[in-house]
Amino acid sequence: MTKLDEENVEVDHVDYDDNPKIDHGIGICQRFRFELSADFFFLEEPNGQYIDVADSFAPASPRFHHVLLLRTGMMLLSIVSLVLSIYHDVARFMWIGYLSYIGLVITIVYQTTACIVTFLRKYLTQPNADSHYEPSMPVKIMWFLYFLSVPLELMIAVSYWTQKVLRFFNFYATLIVREDKRLSFEMITIHGIIALMLLIDGNLIARIPLRIKHIAAIEISTILFSIWTIIHAFSGLGNGIYEGNLLYDVCDWKNRPITTLITFIIIVVVVLPIVFMLAWLLSLIDKGFKFTGGRRQLHEY
């Protein structure tokens, strides 16, 4: 089909409705299907444009290198929390065996990688067709650590504070949280502030995209953690204080295997997808609370 332009010259008519790469307010379901069929580290958006690597992962700082300073500050806060948690933890032998501290270590590795990429900007080169429009390996590592740590830290924060609320109202909480009555600086940081810092880093300081396929990272890591709890339950390692004690009351694979299995299935099948979808929607939020990804930085080829 053709039409006349302002100078009465016949031009081709593009039927946008038949072109799946043109994004005119694409809905959540359409984006979901688009991302589900794409590669794991793809940069293409549904409108056919590509994510700008530099502006999305480590925006340039025209003054005072504020992006690098902010990221370094958040990394130092995480490291201080790590040191304090080890210092105050009487169960240091099993410190790294707990989910909260595993998440903290992963977050610090992400923050360190983000600082390196922000400082060494040669890794932020925009990819082309020769590289299949995929970012450099350091950016891929940074990206992977981000979409692994964000839902993990959100789940840790939600689980911890839900448990605190339930215990406040004298309910029995069977959540994967280590019972700790202290509300110290590091406990608040590890179970909430870290997650908030990650969201600020990925959605305000930068514009790091989350893709539906990235849920596989947190699902696999949770399954690996559940395997670790099985090994721990039958190994007799203990929780670092008393030999034979469990990491968490809910991880009683020896005495309550069915209940424990059901709990982990609920977490993997229900809780994690909900938490990840929350993080995914936050990465897409635009003005007027529309989830169109309009704030994402795109590259003009």
| pLDDT given for residue 237 in this prediction | 80
| pLDDT given for residue 291 in this prediction | 83
Q: Report how many helices (DSSP H) and strands (DSSP E) the chain contains, helices first.
A: 10, 4
Q: How many CB atoms lie within 10 A of CB 180?
A: 16
| pLDDT given for residue 245 in this prediction | 78
Q: How many CB atoms lie within 10 A of CB 261?
A: 13
| pLDDT given for residue 15 in this prediction | 39
Query: Can you give the residue ranges of every domain in the chain?
Result: 23-299
| pLDDT given for residue 173 in this prediction | 46
Helix (H, G, I), strand (E, B) or coil at 168: helix
Bridge-partner residues for 11, per DSSP?
3
Q: Is 88 within 8 Å of 183 (Cβ atoms)?
A: no
pTM recorded for the entire structure: 0.85
Q: Which two tokens stand for residue 39?
A: 């590669």
Rounded to whole angstroms, how far apart are CA atoms 104 and 152? 10
Please report the DSSP string for 216-272 in residue order: HHHHHHHHHHHHHHHHHHHHT--SSSSTT--SSTT--TTT-HHHHHHHHHHIIIIIH
Please report the DSSP string for 71-117 in residue order: HHHHHHHHHHHHHHHHHH-TTGGGGGGSHHHHHHHHHHHHHHHHHHH
> pLDDT tens, position by position, for the chain (301 residues)?
444 443 343 333 333 344 444 444 567 888 999 999 999 999 999 888 999 999 999 998 877 689 999 999 999 999 999 999 988 876 777 888 899 999 999 999 999 999 999 999 999 999 987 777 899 999 999 999 999 999 999 999 998 888 777 766 655 444 444 555 556 888 899 999 999 999 999 999 999 999 999 999 999 999 999 999 999 888 878 776 655 678 888 888 988 999 999 999 999 999 999 999 999 999 998 877 788 888 899 988 7
